[in-house]
């Protein structure tokens, strides 16, 4: 058996430096995980079934953990499977990576899908549909397609993401068909450590500003926005109800806190629970929680249907979940946002926002523009943020 799970003398920077397309990398402020090679891949469209087979696969292979992704659409008609890899080697290291910034080539073509004006039209349609279909919230996204005249340097993008977002979750995962998902998300779907489960839903956003006075004012406007408080409350209600059956106690703060990424202000509520059944794994919990209204809407099925009607693309793994689960059932699953899917010489960036009855189309467009900045900044393409 050549599974290696080493207490590695390598630093997080070493692990990020070793990352190559096809590997799995997950870095947080506390630690980095690099998984390489493949003993087995497990694909399954039903995430609960996927979660139920993984403990057996880990026991059979003797591997310490499995890594991978869940797609956005985990509904009964989905064609996109959850995709987990049992890696050949696993390296972990404490701390966040610190590396020099890498310079990337510029794309030769950029296209917004849909166009900004079409996205605003979709927001108007979503607001109308919320009323006519009795939805509380739906999350609408748009995409930026970038083409290069050489292979997309995924490795450099991932390292720049990790360096630029050290307090968040930078990830890179292999997708079916040799594609890769890369991103840096602030949002943890859940972490399971023994009997403790922790989730930090994010919803409600305002762009950061380079001007400190405007920046502070944006944060204050978010903190006091009734529209964003509502958008946030819908997510917390859902997450609490989804976790409740698994937990014998749940600690939910009375209101959200204001937090930042380098690109965005957010509302976040940290939720901690104690599991009733220690056999429920991190992946079982991810399958039960996903998709939250932070990336889909409420009620889930109706919101997903509306999203699929109004967005002119399949989300694939954007707004899915990315993470790992180990043989003890512990693991971390992040919400796969602020990300891009990379093919050979092309990539698609995604950004979305929660739509509630009080949403304004221009503000929603600006919010997605700001969310693209996470990826664009890592690529040295800040100027493209207005496309």
Ligand X SMILES: C=C(O[C@H]1C=CC=C(C(=O)O)[C@@H]1O)C(=O)O
By the criterion CB under 6 A, which residues form the site for ligand X? 139, 141, 187, 202-205, 266, 294-295, 319, 337-338, 351-354, 371
Task: Count Cα neighbours of 379 within 13 Å in the Cβ-side half-sphere.
Answer: 26
Q: Is 282 helix (H, G, I), strand (E, B) or coil?
A: helix
- Minimum distance from CB of 63 to ligand X (Å)? 32
User: Considering only CA atoms, which of 166, 206, 172 is closest in space to residue 186?
Assistant: 166
**The sheet that has 188-193: what strands, in order across it?**
40-44, 82-86, 65-70, 321-326, 331-335, 188-193, 196-200, 271-275, 247-251
Q: Which of 187, 311, 332, 364 is catalytic?
A: 187
**Residue written as token pair 């006091």:** 224
Residue (123 or 152) nearer to ligand X, CB = 123
Q: How distant is the alpha carbon of residue 298 from its chain centre?
A: 19
Residue (58 or 181) nearer to ligand X, CB = 181
Residue 82, both tokens: 């959850």
DSSP string, 357-376: TT--HHHHHHHHHHHHHHHH
Based on the residue annotation, tell me whether 187 is a catalytic residue of this protein. yes
Judged on CB neighbours under 10 Å (0-12, 13-18, 19+), 237 is middle
Residue length, the chain? Answer: 387
- Minimum distance from CB of 277 to ligand X (Å)? 29
Residue (202 or 304) nearer to ligand X, CB = 202
Residue (155 or 187) nearer to ligand X, CB = 187
- Minimum distance from CB of 337 to ligand X (Å)? 4
Residue (71 or 354) nearer to ligand X, CB = 354
- Minimum distance from CB of 291 to ligand X (Å)? 10
Q: What is the DSSP letter of 101?
A: P
Q: Which of 79, 102, 134, 137 is catalytic?
A: 137
User: Considering only CA atoms, which of 336, 274, 332, 329 is closest in space to residue 51?
Assistant: 329
- Minimum distance from CB of 297 to ligand X (Å)? 9
Based on the residue annotation, tell me whether 79 is a catalytic residue of this protein. no
Residue 102: C-alpha distances to residues 60, 157, 379 (Å): 41, 8, 9
List the catalytic residues.
137, 187
């Amino acid at each position: 058996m050549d599974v290696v799970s080493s207490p590695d003398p390598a630093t997080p920077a070493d692990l990020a430096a070793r990352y190559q397309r096809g590997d799995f990398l997950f870095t947080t402020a506390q630690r980095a995980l690099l998984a390489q090679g493949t003993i087995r891949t497990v694909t399954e469209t039903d995430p609960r079934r996927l979660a139920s087979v993984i403990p057996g696969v880990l026991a059979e292979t003797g591997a310490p953990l499995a890594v991978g992704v869940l797609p956005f659409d985990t509904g009964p008609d989905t064609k996109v499977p959850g995709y987990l890899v049992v890696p050949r080697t696993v390296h972990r290291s404490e701390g966040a990576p610190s590396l020099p910034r890498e310079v990337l080539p510029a794309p030769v073509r950029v296209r917004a899908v849909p166009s900004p004006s079409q996205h605003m039209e979709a927001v108007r349609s979503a607001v109308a549909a919320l009323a006519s279909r009795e939805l509380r919230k739906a999350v609408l996204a748009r995409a930026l397609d970038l083409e290069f005249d050489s292979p997309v340097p995924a490795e450099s993008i991932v390292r720049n993401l990790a360096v630029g977002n050290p307090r968040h979750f930078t990830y890179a995962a292999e997708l079916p068909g040799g594609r890769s998902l890369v991103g840096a998300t602030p949002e943890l779907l859940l972490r399971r450590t023994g009997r403790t489960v922790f989730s930090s839903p994010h919803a409600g956003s305002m762009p950061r500003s380079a001007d400190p006075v405007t920046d502070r004012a944006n944060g204050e406007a978010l903190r006091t926005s009734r529209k964003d408080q509502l958008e946030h409350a819908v997510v917390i209600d859902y997450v609490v109800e989804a976790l409740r059956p698994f937990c014998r106690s749940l600690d939910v703060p009375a209101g959200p806190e204001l937090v930042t990424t380098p690109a965005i202000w957010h509302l976040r509520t940290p939720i901690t629970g104690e599991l009733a059944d220690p056999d429920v794994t991190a992946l079982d919990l991810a399958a039960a929680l996903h998709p939250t209204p932070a990336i889909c809407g409420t009620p889930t099925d109706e919101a997903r249907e509306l999203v699929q009607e109004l967005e002119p693309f399949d989300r694939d793994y954007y707004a899915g979940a990315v993470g790992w689960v180990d043989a003890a059932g512990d693991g971390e699953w992040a919400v796969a946002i602020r990300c891009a899917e990379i093919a050979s010489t092309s990539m698609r960036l995604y950004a979305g926002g929660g739509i509630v009855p009080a949403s304004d189309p221009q503000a929603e467009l600006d919010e997605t523009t700001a969310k693209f900045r996470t990826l664009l900044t890592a690529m040295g393409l800040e100027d493209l943020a207005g496309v």
